[in-house]
Amino acid sequence: MDQRFDTDKYESGYIPFYVEWVRPPRRILEVGVRKGGSLLLWCALWPSVESVVGIDIDELPVLPDPRITMFRADQGDTLALHRIATETGPFDLIIDDASHIGELSWHTFEALWPHVASGGVYVVEDWGTGYRADWPDGASYSPQPPPGHTAGMAAMIKRLVDEVEDGNVDRLDIIRGMAFVHKSA
């Protein structure tokens, strides 16, 4: 893929992990759109893509690909997320690249996880904000006994571990900045 789109996923080094850990999806939902570069990237990356849904709290961009649909909503509005996903899902891939606030991301996961199709993947990006003292709910790391974090994105990621034990999540792959939450086929 030689075309570059306006998304920071290149600089973050995330794209190879999507290629490795996500089977070519047909339907995608991304929360957090900005200029829409990542939505265009998904369409170019996987020829399998039939539809891409974007959700953002801010003004939505106008994008040239007819496979892309966008909705304006706050990721904390779980009823809106559920309504949009019911109308447009289920999805083979859902990405949370929005506020990176732990509580909001957790509620988003709770609202959207049921809309991940069997064998699908839910990706949480940039969870390292949970370690940033300058982030609204970031907490500087303290080498104390676990859980270490009870708030912020780091706590949100640790909460996903509970979902593995509960049997709601089939597999969890965590790397720096990204978590891949897999649903059983």
Positions in the binding site for ligand SAM (CB under 6 A) = 7-9, 30-34, 37-38, 56-58, 74-76, 97-99, 104
> Closest CB to ligand SAM among 17 and 146?
17
> Closest CB to ligand SAM among 16 and 146?
16
Q: Closest Cα partner for 30 from 93, 89, 106, 103? A: 93
Q: Does an H or E element contain 158, and which?
A: helix 152-166
Residues in the chain: 185
Task: Say how far apart CA 163 and CA 167 lie, in whole Å.
Answer: 6
Q: Closest Cα partner for 139 from 156, 161, 154? A: 154
For residue 74, the one-letter residue type is D
Q: What distance lies between CA 50 and its chain's CA centroid?
A: 19
Task: Give the nearest distance from C-beta 52 to ligand SAM in angstroms.
Answer: 11
Task: Give the nearest distance from C-beta 120 to ligand SAM in angstroms.
Answer: 18
Task: Give the nearest distance from C-beta 41 to ligand SAM in angstroms.
Answer: 7
Task: Give the nearest distance from C-beta 31 to ligand SAM in angstroms.
Answer: 6
> Closest CB to ligand SAM among 78 and 168?
78
> Closest CB to ligand SAM among 107 and 148?
107
